[in-house]
């Protein structure tokens, strides 16, 4: 398995891990009555800001651990330099990711138009963001294995 494939697999699991942990914590606080996510949109804004901050810090830590483990496992082989093929793969994967996010955005607007509660917009945004990240990294793995 190439370095880029390993990096994308770590990316997928770190995204799932951080999102699951934060969603669980927010759900527990909501069920405990600390805030009402069905009516308090200021809380949703605060949750999104905290989520972004925690996600960035967690990913930095996960990447550091990944690089340490990878260096030990590969006995210090150099990280491959990003070439034109890598850039093309990232562009195609980013395109796929954007398609998923736009579909999620449109679904949230459609849900609002059909009378769903407003908090569903935030839930759909969160789900489409996570799915678009998984599609981005999954597409990169696919393109590396299949070739471009």
Q: What percent of the chain has pLDDT over 90?
A: 62
Mean pLDDT calculated for residue range 112-140: 92
Closest CA to 15 of 62, 48, 50: 62
Query: Rounded to two decimals, what is the model's pTM?
Result: 0.86
What integer pLDDT is reported at residue 42 of this predicted model? 86
Residue 93's pLDDT is what? 97
* Residue 77: band (very low, low, confident or very high) from pLDDT cuts 50, 70, 90: confident
pLDDT value at position 56?
Answer: 93
**Has residue 102 got a pLDDT over 90?**
yes
Domain residue limits, the chain: 3-146
Q: Given the structure tokens 């793969």, which residue do they identify? A: 89
* Residue 137 binned pLDDT confidence (cut-offs 50, 70, 90): very high
The values of phi and psi at residue 10, to 5°, are -60, -40
Summarised one tens digit per residue, pLDDT across range 28-45 is: 988 888 888 788 888 888
Res 148 pLDDT > 90: no
- In whole angstroms, give the CA distance from residue 34 to residue 31: 8
């Amino acid at each position: 398995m190439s370095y880029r494939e390993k990096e994308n697999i770590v990316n997928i699991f770190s995204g799932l891990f951080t999102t699951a942990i934060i969603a669980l914590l927010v759900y527990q606080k909501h069920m405990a009555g600390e805030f009402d996510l069905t009516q308090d949109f200021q809380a949703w804004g605060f949750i999104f800001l905290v989520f972004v901050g925690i996600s960035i810090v967690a990913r930095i830590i996960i990447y550091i651990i990944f690089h340490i483990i990878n260096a030990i496992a590969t006995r210090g082989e150099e990280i491959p330099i990003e070439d034109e093929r890598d850039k093309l793969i990232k562009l195609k994967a980013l395109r796929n990711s954007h398609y998923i996010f736009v579909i999620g955005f449109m679904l949230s607007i459609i849900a609002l138009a059909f009378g769903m509660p407003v908090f569903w917009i935030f839930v759909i945004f969160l789900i489409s963001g996570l799915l678009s990240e998984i599609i981005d990294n999954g597409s990169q793995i696919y393109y590396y294995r299949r070739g471009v």
